[in-house]
Structure 1
Amino acid sequence: MAFIAALLGAPLPAIAHPHVFAEARLEIVSGADGNLAELRNVWRFDDIFSSSVLMDFDKNSDLKLDHSELNEIAETIRTSLADYGFFTSITANGTSVPVARPEVFHVDFKDNQLLVFFVAKPEKTLALKGKLAIGVYDPTMYTAIDFAKDEDMVTEGEGFNQCKRAVVRPDPDQVLAENQANLTSAFFDDPAGTDMTKLFATRLELTC
Structure 2
Amino acid sequence: MRFLPLLIAGAALAAPAAALAHPHIFAEARLEVVAGEDGTIEELRNVWRFDEMFSASVVMDFDKNSNAELDPDELAEVGKTVLDSLEEFSYYTTITEDGRTVKVRKPDVINVDYKDGQLLMFFAVKPDEVMPLKGKLTFGVYDPTMYASMDFPSDGDLVTVGDKFAACKSAVVRPDPDEVLSENQSSLTDAFFNDPTGTDMSKLFATRLEVTC
Which TM bucket (shorter chain)? over 0.9
Instruction: Check whether the contact 1:84–1:139 (CA below 8 A) recurs between aligned residues.
Output: yes
The answer (yes or no) to whether the contact 1:24–1:41 under 8 Å persists in 2 is: yes
Q: In the alignment, which residue of structure 2 is the partner of 1:187?
A: 192
1:144 is aligned to 149
Q: CA deviation at 1:104?
A: 3.4
Residues 189-198 or 50-59, more deviating: 189-198
> Distance in 2 between the 1:5 and 1:156 partners?
35
4 and 149 in structure 1: CA distance in 2 versus 1, 3 angstrom threshold? same
1:5 offset after TM fit, Å?
5.8
Deviations 1:43-66 (A, max 9, x none): 000000000000000001000111
Match of 1:74 among 71, 76, 79: 79
1:143-201 Cα deviation digits (max 9, x unpaired): 00000100001111011011000000000011011111101111001165431000000
Higher mean C-alpha deviation, range 184-193 or range 136-145: 184-193
Q: Match for 1:129 among 126, 134, 154?
A: 134
The SS at the match of 1:196 is helix
Structure 2, unpaired ranges of 5+: none
Q: Contact conserved, 2:4 with 2:58, CA < 8 A, in 1?
A: no
Aligned to 2:89: 84
Question: Does the CA contact (< 8 Å) of 1:26 and 1:39 recur in 2?
Answer: yes
CA distance in 1, matches of 2:194, 2:5: 17
Distance 1:104 1:58 in 2: 20
Deviations 1:105-139 (A, max 9, x none): 10000001000001011011111100001000000
Distance 1:73 1:61 in 2: 15
Match of 1:111 among 94, 105, 116: 116
The 2-side partners of 1:59 and 1:167 are apart by 41
SS in 2 for 1:174: helix
2:64 is paired with a residue of what secondary structure?
Answer: coil
Q: Is the 8 A contact 1:16 1:190 kept in 2?
A: no
The answer to whether residue 179 in structure 2 is matched with residue 168 in structure 1 is no
Identify if the C-alpha distance between structure 1 residues 192 and 172 changes in structure 2 by more than 3 Å, giving closer, same or farther. farther
- Give, in whole Å, the separation in 2 of the partners of 1:26 and 1:147: 9
Secondary structure class of the residue paired with 1:75: helix
In the superposition, relative to structure 1, how do residues 52 and 75 fare at CA in structure 2: closer, same or farther (>3 Å)?
same
Matched, 1:59 2:51: no
State whether residues 43 and 126 of structure 2, in contact with CA within 8 Å, keep that contact through their aligned partners in structure 1: yes
Residues 141 and 191 of structure 1 are in contact (CA less than 8 Å); yes or no, is this contact kept in structure 2? no
Which of residues 157, 164, 182 in structure 2 aligns to 1:177?
Answer: 182
Q: Give the secondary-structure state (helix, strand or coil) at the position aligned to 1:161.
A: helix
Q: Secondary structure at the match of 2:56?
A: helix
Cα RMSD over matched residues?
A: 1.6
The CA deviation string for residues 12-71 of structure 1, in whole angstroms up to 9 with x for no partner, is 332121000000111110000000000010000000000000000000100011111001
Cα distance between partner residues in 1 of 2:61 and 2:116: 18
**Residue aligning to 2:6:** 6
Specify the code of the residue in structure 2 equivalent to 1:133: T
Task: State the one-letter code of the partner of 1:176.
Answer: L
Q: CA deviation at 1:78?
A: 1.1
Q: 1:16–1:140: 8 Å Cα contact kept in structure 2?
A: no
Structure 1 contact 5–12 (Cα < 8 Å) conserved: no
Report how far residue 4 of structure 1 moved: 5.0
